[in-house]
Amino acid sequence: MDRKFLWGSATAAYQCEGGWKEGGKGMSNWDTFCHSEKNNINPVTGDVACDHYHRYEEDIKMIADGNQNAYRFSIAWTRIIPDGVGKISREGIDFYNRLIDTCKKYNVEPLVTLYHYDLPQSLFENGGWENRATVDAYEEYVKVCFKEFGDKVNYWATINEPNYETLCCYGFGNYPPNVKNLERRWKAMYHLMLASARAVKAYKNMGYKGMIGLVSDSYPIEILKDNEEYRKAKKLANIFFNTSVNDTCIKGYYPDEYIEHLTELGYDLSYMKEEDKEIFKAGTVDYLGVNAYCRFLVKPCTGRETVMEVNNTGDSSKNEEMEIKDWCALDDDPNTKKTPWGTEIYPKSVYDMLMEFKELYPDTPIIITENGLGEYDIVEGEKIHDQYRINFLQGYVDWIKKAIVEGCDCRGYFVWSTMDVYSWINGYKKRYGLVYIDFDDNCKRIPKDSYHWYKEFIKEKGGSY
Active site residues: 370
The answer to whether residues 419 and 434 touch, using CB atoms and an 8 Å cutoff, is: yes
- The residue type of 179 is V
Spatial neighbors of 129 by CB under 8 A, at least 6 apart, are: 119, 166, 188, 189, 191, 192, 195
Residue (60 or 159) nearer to ligand BGP, CB: 159
* Residue 187: partners with Cβ closer than 8 Å, 6 or more residues away: 130, 271
In the bound complex, what is the minimum distance in angstroms from residue 159's beta carbon to ligand BGP? 11
Residue nearest to ligand BGP (CB): 423
Q: Which of 84, 374, 433, 447 binds ligand BGP (CB under 6 A)?
A: 374
Of 155, 180, 158, 154, nearest to 169 by C-alpha is 180
Does the protein bind ligand BGP through residue 241 (CB under 6 A)? no
Q: Residue 300: which of 225, 240, 243, 356 has the closest Cα?
A: 225
Among 158-166, 241-249, 255-263, 389-397, which window interacts with ligand BGP (CB under 6 A)?
158-166
In the complex with ligand BGP, which residue's Cβ is closer, 164 or 241? 164
Smallest separation (angstroms) from ligand BGP to the CB of 430: 5
* Helix (H/G/I), strand (E/B), else coil: 159: strand
In the complex with ligand BGP, which residue's Cβ is closer, 193 or 279?
193
CB count within 10 Å of CB 432 equals 25
Contacts with ligand BGP, 278-317, as mask; x by CB under 6 A? -------------x--------------------------
Name residues contacting ligand BGP, limited to 180-239 (CB under 6 A).
Answer: 217
Going through 20-90 in order, the beta strands assigned E by DSSP cover 70-74
Please say whether the beta carbons of 10 and 370 come within 8 A.
yes
- Rounded least distance, CB 418 to ligand BGP, Å: 12
Query: Does 78 interact with ligand BGP (rule: CB under 6 A)?
Result: no
3-state class (DSSP) for residue 24: coil
Please say whether the beta carbons of 288 and 246 come within 8 A: yes
Site string for ligand BGP, 8-47 (x = CB under 6 A): ----x--x--------------------------------
Q: How far is the CB of 163 from ligand BGP (least distance, A)?
A: 10
Other CB atoms within 10 Å distance of the CB of residue 115: 28
Site size for ligand BGP (CB under 6 A): 14
Does 118 sit near ligand BGP (CB under 6 A)?
A: no
- In whole angstroms, the minimum distance from the beta carbon of 52 to ligand BGP comes to 14
Distance CA 67, CA 372 (A): 18
CB of 115 to ligand BGP, least distance (A): 11
Nearest Cα to 289, choosing from 360, 365, 219, 387? 365
Identify which range of 45-53, 58-66, 157-165, 383-391 contacts ligand BGP by CB under 6 A: 157-165
What mask, x for binding ligand BGP by CB under 6 A, covers residues 311 to 350?
A: ----------------------------------------
160 binds ligand BGP (CB under 6 A): yes
416 near ligand BGP, judged by CB under 6 A:
yes
Q: What share of the chain is helix, strand, coil (3-state, %, to 5)?
A: 40, 15, 40
Distance, in Å, from the CA atom of 384 to the CA atom of 434, rounded to the nearest integer, reads: 10
Which residues lie near ligand BGP (CB under 6 A)? 12, 15, 160-161, 164, 217, 291, 370, 374, 416, 423-424, 426, 430
